[in-house]
Structure 1
Amino acid sequence: MTTNTNAPIGLLTGKVVFITGASRGIGAAAARLFAAEGAAVVLASRGIEALEKLVGEIRADGGVADAVQIDLADRASVRAAVARVEELHGRLDGAFNNGAAIQTAPGPLDTTTDEDIEEQFAVNFRAHWTAMNAEAALMRQGSGGAIVNTSSIGSRRANPALPAYGAMKRALNSITETAAVTWAPHGIRVNGITPGGTATEMIDTWEATTPGVVDRIMASTPLGRMAEPREIAELAAWLLSDRASIVTGAIIPADGGAGA
């Protein structure tokens, strides 16, 4: 277990940052961290009650935060959430597209259902596609910005346990790189993160359906442990900050060496 005690340094001071999947796990860790680093955060998730509680915590600590409900599988809902950012702040400087859904029935490719493929496409690929286009359109109205997409270590290699999930995350890597090249002239940087095993509710769900997954992940990770959500959020914060001003089109592992 790590003890991450990094003190805030104002890494995102003055920036407006939109975060999807913000009610739990990596997204919630990012919400707290980005606000502590000076960003005004707009938090999006399907679970509005959890979001409003998190907004209250951030405001109580002196931060600026608002909540907007989103259904990542609904393109209109995604666009409306980004439009809400414009209503609140008139601009967008950074976006952390973090929503994800684990494949509902882990198992081999030949047992993967049409429903699994469709859900993974909607949530882990099309939602990012829709969000990125809406975010970039708003950023182009200003002086640019930065987008970070959460992918997965499972996108970098064969993924026999979660074939639909891995396939859509690999597709996400491709559009991340393409977006970086396409929008660079507009001052918009686009990068991806590929976390390995991270101690989130999603991993808990996978462990419940496939006991022993956590032990296998830790055994295959050179650092010998799961990542904490805050550690993934730290990388996203840096990529969204001006400290990463030359970094775009990168797909950066955050996996404790598991992909080395």
Structure 2
Amino acid sequence: MRTSRLQLLAAAGVAVASLALTACQDGTGTRDEGASASGPVASAPSDTSSQAPKESASDNGGNDSSANGSSGDAAGTGDSGGNGSSAGKGGSSAGKGSASGGSRDGSSSFNPCNGSNTSVTAEPVSRPVNHMLITVENTGSQNCDLPYYPVLRFDEMQWVPQPVEDSKPQAVVTLAPGESAYAGVLLSAADGSGSGGATGKKLTVGFQGRTPNSDGGPAAIPALPAKGVYYDSSLTVTYWQSSMDDALAY
């Protein structure tokens, strides 16, 4: 009985060994299958991961740096160019504005009114008292400009009447052909506080040019009343005005 059991155990051991050897030879054993399965799966991700970063680094990295560089340059160029062109436009616009203003203040298109292209009259008025009104009419064929105020001189007077600064207009008066402008003259103080009173028989009206106190061309000599015009040290004159009422308001 004991011998039979030993024989059975031995026979079983031989069978197990034979099965193990067969599995090792044909590659179907459990250990071989595990190694075979893990080998291909592990190698596939390894290859993919090694290739994908290279492609992204080559494609994305290169394109990104190129794109960023080009877009950065383009942005820089666009910004500086845009600002430059904008500034240029602003500058050209500003230039046009100053040229337009300069046409009234002294640019090449400035055309002063003076004794050669205007008709000038000087008449004392009853209201306000001790005032005289100077009227200038454009008798030429082109617009003319009246900057600042008239420069007055009675006879051989050695001093120049000062302007009423409060009467300075916001813009230079420009006359189209046939239009008129005005200046008011305070001849003497109503309360008699003025000094050096005299009677003027001749009045010379001077015109200013593009800059203050510059020569604007030929003067005018309007006729005065036969008895003359009395004036004293209070003598002042307004800036040229477009309105007669504005000229006599000072």
Q: Same fold judged by TM-score > 0.5?
A: no
TM-score tier by shorter-chain length is: under 0.3
Query: Normalising by the residue count of structure 2, what TM-score does the alignment of the two structures yield?
Result: 0.20
TM-score (norm. length: structure 1): 0.20
Question: Higher helix share goes to which structure?
Answer: 1
Q: For the pair shown, which has the larger CA radius of gyration, 1 or 2?
A: 2
